[in-house]
Amino acid sequence: MFHTDTIAEIAHDIPNLYAFRITGEVGRDDMKAMSEFMLGAFKAHDTVDMCLVFETDAGSKADASLSDEAVKAQAKSLRHVRNYVVAGAPDKAASMVETMGKVLPVEAKSFATEAEAFAWLRQQAHAA
């Protein structure tokens, strides 16, 4: 299972879902490692769902998304991510996810709790 100092993969039973728990401020090394992990997932699957569960209001460092791997993963996510879900995200991040879901070819949702997010993702998996 994937793990860094501030990001840990969450075990679950939903097909093609990559879920991660954010426990602290995400730095460049954390984001680079998760991006490399997701680039591998994009090679293995045509489409995946992603879920980020926040246990912190810390967010990410300003340069967290500036590695080559992070930029590649962000670009490829437009083709490979079907549903992008956050749970327990700080208000600003939750609003951004909902707004981006309106302009990108990704279903983006924000939920207050992990349980709500996983319930919705289970419904999506059965509908696919």
Share of the chain above pLDDT 70, in %: 99
Mean pLDDT of all residues in 3-31: 96
**In the chain, domain spans:** 7-127
Largest CA distance in the chain: 37
Reported as a pLDDT band with limits 50, 70 and 90, residue 17 is very high
pLDDT digits (tens, 9 = 90+) for 65-123: 878 988 888 889 989 999 999 999 888 778 888 877 887 888 999 999 999 999 999 99
Sheet of strand 7-9: strand arrangement:
7-9, 17-22, 48-54, 81-87, 107-111
Reported as a pLDDT band with limits 50, 70 and 90, residue 33 is very high
- Judge: domain 7-127, CATH 3.40.50: no
Torsion of CA 54, 56, 58, 64, to 10 degrees: -40
Q: Give the tokens for residue 23.
A: 């426990």
